[in-house]
Structure 1
């Protein structure tokens, strides 16, 4: 274990000078498990083909209860690992669509070419799932360095298939791409590029070279957790990177951070304020300090039971520059 001196970092709760409170919950983000066909270098979940953790039948049924019980929920956001590979994916998709919820699937696209999953593009289109897919760059070398050799080519072929089914054209079939910057290898840190300009660059390149299209580009900052944290620690860049993020803190992002109106749920049924707190094992709690789970949330019968959001130093990653969330930049 590397000893880390973070004394130079202002604790996030001190920086914001007030508690960060929840708004009405409208989004459930569910991590179905850590099984994945890839092992990307930027994955904060540390998913891979070797991981076996996934949803149980009991938790799956509780999640479906939760989706059916609360009309205020607008979106069910499915992630992983590769969410499609983990137990409960289809039952939750179909329950949420039946309940008239928007369903997001955070797909790595390459899953379409794995045995047993080749039906997914048609399944996505049939259920009008919103696809949010990682494509860390529009250039092949950059993508394959982050995600593995051949991933870029497979991703392009997957987008071509989705376009053929109407994604990117039909307003009910939305395909969004996600930009992740390379993990910094030295102290020449930089914020994510301006989202609207980079989206234009992506669209022009992909249209000109492959005649493919998509709806929006989301730029997401690499937070120093999971594999990114391990890499930065090994390079002695963890604290300098946090200092860089803190130096670009933008208080205007606070009203828009994703933890305000979202609950993040893991495959064990534990509840967190966001996906990053989930990976760092910082559970959301009731006002009495009790850790929140699906089970006690169903007993209470109310989604809006969290007063204060749990924060940590890596929250600077969501609030630096234009901000960062699962839906891209914040301002």
Structure 2
């Protein structure tokens, strides 16, 4: 194979414009406050960050949830979403309107002061828990997320299991795998999701009597701390070239950016969480940058025709693809 020396712009690789479909998913990044500072975090969240949702934007988001029946899923992320303002009011508004609520949880938050009610709260409102567990081996998890995180995660998963998560069909518990950060140019694609799920389930059941529903294998996109790491190690361009060389056009149809809106804690609108972190705002056909307030004023969620793309989009389209729900094909 001929060595790629540059990275093709993503829209040129597609040869057509990536278009939006009807919006059915609202993903809300409630802020950057978190009790952890994971090495791969594209949000660059940490205990030192203070940015979070304001009461005004929270009310606008709740109004959005009430106003648009087409929304099927309200997906809450962060930071640790549970730590940021507006978390419970948004959960309760979404459930009152029969939306599925997803919380992207780091699990360890349940053991922090003032957050010990969360597992029972999740069960009460039938919140779908998508929990980060980037490996089923303690050393790898602690290396990426901090000392003691694996043990805390195990205890949290056992707690959720006792409440019915992983067994009760209304209490869905999913885990998320992330690869270790690259240390040289020996890159590899995310492993086969179904096989990895089987490995996780066997190991966690045998060693900790833990059960869960699905494993989502997610590629590390060169955004946030992952990008900073790749730049420090002079691997940023080689990694982009690797992702481009494994571009799979079959993944494009299922890209999460096509039917979701990503909202930040300031009320700005993006096509996806990665665009949000890179400040690549969603735009209307006339170039207007969108906010939650403008969506409410227009009476429509479907103001965007074309998705804003960038080089890191290759991370979602390499191999089996990657999304907040794992592999795409």
- The alignment's TM-score, normalised by the length of structure 1, stands at 0.98
Query: Where does structure 2 lack aligned partners over 5 or more consecutive residues?
Result: none
Q: Which residue of 2 aligns with 1:3?
A: none
Q: Which residue of 2 aligns with 1:75?
A: 73
What is the Cα deviation at residue 285 of structure 1?
0.6
Match among 230, 233, 256 for residue 232 of structure 1: 230
Q: Which residue of 1 aligns with 2:134?
A: 136
Match among 26, 39, 51 for residue 28 of structure 1: 26
Q: Which residue of 1 aligns with 2:189?
A: 191
Q: Which residue of 2 aligns with 1:286?
A: 284
What is the Cα deviation at residue 287 of structure 1?
1.0
Deviations 1:218-277 (A, max 9, x none): 000000010000000010000000000000000000000000100000000000000000
Q: Which residue of 2 aligns with 1:116?
A: 114
Q: Which residue of 2 aligns with 1:295?
A: 293
Q: Which residue of 2 aligns with 1:318?
A: 316
Provide the rounded CA distance (Å) in 2 between the counterparts of 1:235 and 1:108.
27
What is the Cα deviation at residue 7 of structure 1?
7.0
Provide the rounded CA distance (Å) in 2 between the counterparts of 1:126 and 1:308.
39
What is the Cα deviation at residue 216 of structure 1?
0.1
Provide the rounded CA distance (Å) in 2 between the counterparts of 1:305 and 1:314.
24
Q: How many residues align?
A: 326
What is the Cα deviation at residue 34 of structure 1?
0.2
Q: Which ranges of 4 or more aligned residues in structure 1 deviate by more than 6 Å?
A: none
Provide the rounded CA distance (Å) in 1 between the counterparts of 2:299 and 2:255.
25
Q: Which residue of 2 aligns with 1:15?
A: 13
Is 1:208 equivalent to 2:206 in the alignment?
Answer: yes
- The alignment's TM-score, normalised by the length of structure 2, stands at 0.99
Q: Which residue of 2 aligns with 1:327?
A: 325
Q: Which residue of 1 aligns with 2:151?
A: 153
Provide the rounded CA distance (Å) in 1 between the counterparts of 2:162 and 2:213.
14
Q: Which residue of 2 aligns with 1:246?
A: 244
Q: Which residue of 1 aligns with 2:97?
A: 99
Match among 57, 61, 64 for residue 62 of structure 2: 64
Provide the rounded CA distance (Å) in 2 between the counterparts of 1:50 and 1:7.
39
